[in-house]
Amino acid sequence: MKSYLLAWRNLWRNKRRTLITVASVFFAVFFALLMRSLQLGSYAHMFQNVIESYTGYIQVQNQDFRDNSTVDNSFDFTPDIRKLLLSDPNVTNLVPRFESFALASTGPLTKGVLVMGIDPEKEALLSDVRHRLVRYRLTPEAIDSIKQMDIPGNVKSKLDLFRGESYASPSILQLDLGIKDRDAGKIMPGIERVTRISNGYLTAGKKEALLGDDLARYLNLNIGDTLVMIGQGYHGTTAAAKFRIVGIVKLPTPDIDNKIVYLPIGVCQEFYNAPGMLTSMALTVKNKSDKAINRTLKSLGKQLPSPLRLLGWREMNELLINQMDADNKSGAIMIGILYLVIAFGIFGTVLMMTTERRREFGVLTAIGMQKSKLAAIVSFEMVYIGLLGILSGIAAALPVIIIGQYHPIRFSGEYAKVYESYGMEPVMPFMNVNNYFLWQSVIVAVIVLIAIAYPVRKIYKMKLVNSLKA
Amino acid sequence: MMKKFYFILFSLLFPAAPAYICAQQLTAKEIVKKADEKFNGEKSSETVMAMTIVRPTWQRTVEFKSWTLTRDYNLTLITFPAKDAGQSFLKRGNEMWNWNPAISRLIKLPPSMMSQGWMGSDYTNDDIMKESSVVNDYTHEITGSAIVEDRECWVIKMLAKPDAAVVWGHQVRWIDKKDFLLLKAEYYDEDGTLMRTETGSDIKSMDGRMIPTKLVLKPMDEPGNSTVVVIKNIKFNIPMQQSFFSQQNMKRIH
């Protein structure tokens, strides 16, 4: 009989032992995959957050703007440059920006703010400010009337925790209040009705502004109020003007939410005395893969006239990438520890198995089986166990990861607040199936192969008399 | 005998010579004081100026009108370009305000803003305020003579007094011996590094006085940058009331 067949039959002679060993490999693969997927997923999510909602994949800037981000380092956006940028097949659209700083003030309160001139329509391709408009707010009056409603006690206690909080979507509101999905249909419409606030959007050419929610709260401003801003304009001129607040936005990054002011781009250029100038032009791309973006960077970079330069998303987010790298290292250490624990787990079961079968090995050798054949059979057994464990691990992890991708783990309550205070959106998505799957499997397989060495060595060094007595 | 007579006759015919001899008796402090008054007026002045900010890649001109009463009061009104016109700056004693009609706001400039450029120029708010006195906050010493703009000048080294609230460690001023014109000044920091130079030229008669009408300021740490101020018109010792320098007037004046 072929040794691989014998090995297969051997496996099912003692099902329980086999299953214990398979389980140890299974958990190794399952947890390593989930951990890695979560980690890579949250990096990708963070990049996507920043890139797709802020910087874009490629930007055109004046070459001095990055080191010295003043309005004096803006550039004149001519029709020729526009034509050149759109000539690249991967570039789908252009999103103009004019960014600078100013002091915003109301009454005695003043705060340094980030002023962002945007094209109200085209910006939807990137940061989609319109969808960030606050639609619901837990005002003290709203909280009072919600408390009159027929709602569960735990929701009532959460109301005070989130007093004054603003929401752009009803789902986050529901989550913060801890309302279960089955109750949502009954409770949410009423809550939405009392918390709803009307909110407008920018119109090109009008002296209007959108404010971050935190900033509006700090300055004690609301829709319809006047925002006064003063700053330094192009070539040292004074930039000072009044704007009507038409809307409040809630941005996922608290660090931006507490200082952002959006203006229509034309109005912003006029405010800074820089008509026709831009600080950056973000390009939206068809193909977001690194290869396609590098090709676009290369071909456009050669053709752009001298004061202008192209920046890829890696260059624009250097700090973030460095932070991720550092975090990735600590993640690698964690996963290393996990592997160590797993390796000893697998080794432990193998050790147990070898000791248990000492007598069996002895008898087989005594009736004339070659030690090499015996070692081969045991090795096959281990390979099968490894394969079973790895495949079942992948099979179990796959649905979790796929579901987690579409329904990321979202923290609520106090946890969410902690996350937000660190400037992160409180979600933890999984990473799509990728080559990290292969790597986790390979590493576990290597651990199993190393573990084979022990029984093989034991078989070759076996003293027949002793093992028969065992 | 005759020699002595000729000398007296010569002196009478050329009054500048005895003036020169008299001036020799002046102390360095008096020279600096006279030069300062020459430019700012003993009591008050009204000036129309154009300031050009020169940068390596661009330049820009701002025009303004300025009223001064003693060292304590100053009001400056921007008249050009249109976007900035109507902005005014008021100085009363140690305090400075800015009125901006575009936002109808009166802003008090905090001490932290004193070292920042005024209207984007190389002049700081402190230069405009002239909070420190070139006469009282420095010790003065004549260190020699030199020719600047074809005029013979005293070279005066001014060392900041230890307890004075001044920006500079020391200054060197070149003051014309005849008309007490400040023709050149060098400003050094506490370490003795040259930080900026200021030169006066285009000497013209304005309201009966000879004054340099073009001032060029060059910061040493930023090559290619300079600020050129041209005095278009100046009147000295005109009647002025303290009440003119008020927050109400800042908003009213055009």
What is the domain partition of chain A in residue ranges?
3-50+320-469, 57-316
Shortest CA distance from A233: residue in chain B = B120
pLDDT of residue A456: 92
What are the pLDDT digits (tens) for A273-317?
Answer: 999 999 999 998 888 888 899 999 999 988 888 889 999 988 888
| Contact between A425 and A418 (Cβ < 8 Å) | no
Tell me which of B55, B83, B123 to substitute to probe the interface with A (most A C-beta atoms closer than 10 Å).
B83
- Residues facing B198 on adjacent strands: B185, B217
Q: Is A242 on the interface with B (CB under 8 A)?
A: yes
From the number of C-beta atoms within 10 Å of its C-beta (0-12, 13-18, 19+), residue B206 rates as middle
Residue, of A154 and A421, whose pLDDT is higher: A154
**Torsion angle of alpha carbons A215, A219, A223, A224, nearest 10°?**
-140
Tell if the CB–CB gap between A235 and B60 is shorter than 8 Å: yes
Task: Measure CB to CB from residue B120 to each of A235, A240, A242 and give the nearest one.
Answer: A235
Secondary structure (3-state) at A326: helix
- Where residue B108 sits, what CATH number does that domain have? 2.50.20.10
DSSP H or E run through B8: helix B2-13
Nearest one of B89, B87, B91 to B79, comparing CA atoms: B87
pLDDT per residue rounded down to tens, chain B (254 residues): 455 555 555 554 454 444 444 445 688 899 998 888 887 777 889 999 999 999 988 899 999 999 998 888 999 999 988 888 999 999 988 888 999 998 888 888 887 777 788 888 888 887 876 666 788 889 999 999 999 888 999 999 999 998 887 888 999 999 999 889 999 999 999 999 999 999 999 999 988 888 899 999 999 998 999 999 999 999 988 999 999 999 999 998 87
pLDDT of residue A413: 65
Task: Measure CB to CB from residue B83 to each of A105, A242, A273 and give the nearest one.
Answer: A273
Q: Is B5 on the interface with A (CB under 8 A)?
A: no
pLDDT of residue B40: 73
A237 contacts in B (CB within 8 Å)? 60, 81, 83-84, 120
**Torsion angle of alpha carbons B24, B26, B27, B32, nearest 10°?**
-110
Interface size, chain A vs chain B, as Cβ–Cβ contacts under 8 Å: 40
Q: Is B82 on the interface with A (CB under 8 A)?
A: no
Helix and strand numbers (H, E) in chain B are: 5, 13
pLDDT of residue B24: 54
B81 contacts in A (CB within 8 Å)? 237
For helices A79-86 and A290-303, the axis angle rounded to 10 degrees is: 150
Strands A109-118 and A260-264 turn out to be: parallel
B103 contacts in A (CB within 8 Å)? 228-230, 240-242
A71 contacts in B (CB within 8 Å)? none
Shortest CA distance from B80: residue in chain A = A237
- The tokens for B11 are 């002196």
Shortest CA distance from A227: residue in chain B = B103
B53 contacts in A (CB within 8 Å)? 235-236
pLDDT of residue B5: 54
Q: Predicted confidence band at A130 (pLDDT cuts at 50, 70, 90)?
A: confident
pLDDT of residue A424: 61
For the question of whether the overall pTM of this predicted structure is more than 0.95, the answer is no
Average pLDDT, stretch A444-460? 90
Residue A108 has pLDDT above 80, yes or no: yes
What are the pLDDT digits (tens) for B131-166?
Answer: 667 888 899 999 999 998 889 999 999 999 988 878
Alpha helices in B26-124 (DSSP H): 28-40
Strands A409-410 and A427-428 turn out to be: antiparallel
Tell if the CB–CB gap between A237 and B83 is shorter than 8 Å: yes
Q: Is B119 on the interface with A (CB under 8 A)?
A: yes
What are the pLDDT digits (tens) for A320-357?
Answer: 888 888 888 888 888 888 888 888 888 888 888 888 88
Residue in the block written with tokens 């089955």: A182
Alpha-carbon Rg for chain A, nearest whole angstrom, is 31
A209 contacts in B (CB within 8 Å)? none
Tell if the CB–CB gap between B107 and A230 is shorter than 8 Å: yes
State the smallest CA–CA distance between residue A39 and chain B in angstroms.
Answer: 46
pLDDT of residue A251: 82
Q: Is B102 on the interface with A (CB under 8 A)?
A: yes
A242 contacts in B (CB within 8 Å)? 102-104
Nearest one of A400, A398, A389, A405 to A441, comparing CA atoms: A389
Residue, of B222 and A420, whose pLDDT is higher: B222
Q: Predicted confidence band at A363 (pLDDT cuts at 50, 70, 90)?
A: very high
Average pLDDT, stretch A377-397? 92
Tell if the CB–CB gap between B60 and A237 is shorter than 8 Å: yes
Q: Predicted confidence band at A241 (pLDDT cuts at 50, 70, 90)?
A: very high
**Domain count of the fold of chain B:** 1
List Cβ neighbours of B80 (8 Å cut-off, separation of 6 or more).
B50, B61, B62, B63, B64
Please give the Cα distance from A392 to A390 (Å, whole number).
Answer: 6
Shortest CA distance from A230: residue in chain B = B103
Q: For the residues of B132-183, what is the DSSP string, one character each? A: S-TTTSEEEEEEEEEEETTEEEEEEEEEE-TT---S-SEEEEEEETTT--EE
Q: Is A237 on the interface with B (CB under 8 A)?
A: yes
Shortest CA distance from A110: residue in chain B = B107
Alpha-carbon Rg for chain B, nearest whole angstrom, is 20
Task: Measure CB to CB from residue A236 to each of B102, B104, B119 and give the nearest one.
Answer: B119
Instruction: Write the Ramachandran bin of B231: left for phi over 0, alpha for psi from -120 to 50, otherwise beta.
Output: beta
B82 contacts in A (CB within 8 Å)? none
- The tokens for A435 are 């080559």
B124 contacts in A (CB within 8 Å)? none
Nearest one of A42, A424, A139 to A255, comparing CA atoms: A424
The complex's ipTM? 0.71
Task: Measure CB to CB from residue A232 to each of B53, B87, B120 and give the nearest one.
Answer: B120
B87 contacts in A (CB within 8 Å)? 238
State the smallest CA–CA distance between residue A238 and chain B in angstroms.
Answer: 7
pLDDT of residue B131: 61
Nearest one of B151, B166, B129, B168 to B35, comparing CA atoms: B151
Tell if the CB–CB gap between B103 and A232 is shorter than 8 Å: no
Secondary structure (3-state) at A64: coil
Q: Is B55 on the interface with A (CB under 8 A)?
A: yes
- Residues facing B217 on adjacent strands: B198, B227
- The tokens for B245 are 């320098």
A241 contacts in B (CB within 8 Å)? 102-103
The whole-chain average pLDDT of chain A stands at 87
pLDDT of residue B15: 46
Tell me which of A65, A230, A238, A267 to substitute to probe the interface with B (most B C-beta atoms closer than 10 Å).
A238
State the smallest CA–CA distance between residue A228 and chain B in angstroms.
Answer: 6
pLDDT of residue B79: 94
DSSP H or E run through A445: helix A435-460
Tell me which of A235, A270, A273 to substitute to probe the interface with B (most B C-beta atoms closer than 10 Å).
A235
Instruction: Write the Ramachandran bin of B182: left for phi over 0, alpha for psi from -120 to 50, otherwise beta.
Output: beta
pLDDT of residue A392: 94
Task: Measure CB to CB from residue B100 to each of A230, A236, A273 and give the nearest one.
Answer: A230
- The tokens for A111 are 């705060």
Shortest CA distance from B99: residue in chain A = A240
A273 contacts in B (CB within 8 Å)? 83
State the smallest CA–CA distance between residue A172 and chain B in angstroms.
Answer: 38
Q: Which domain holds residue B146?
A: 3-252
Please give the Cα distance from A211 to A255 (Å, whole number).
Answer: 13
DSSP H or E run through B184: strand B182-188
Secondary structure (3-state) at A112: strand
The fraction of chain A above a pLDDT of 70, given in percent, is 97
B121 contacts in A (CB within 8 Å)? 236
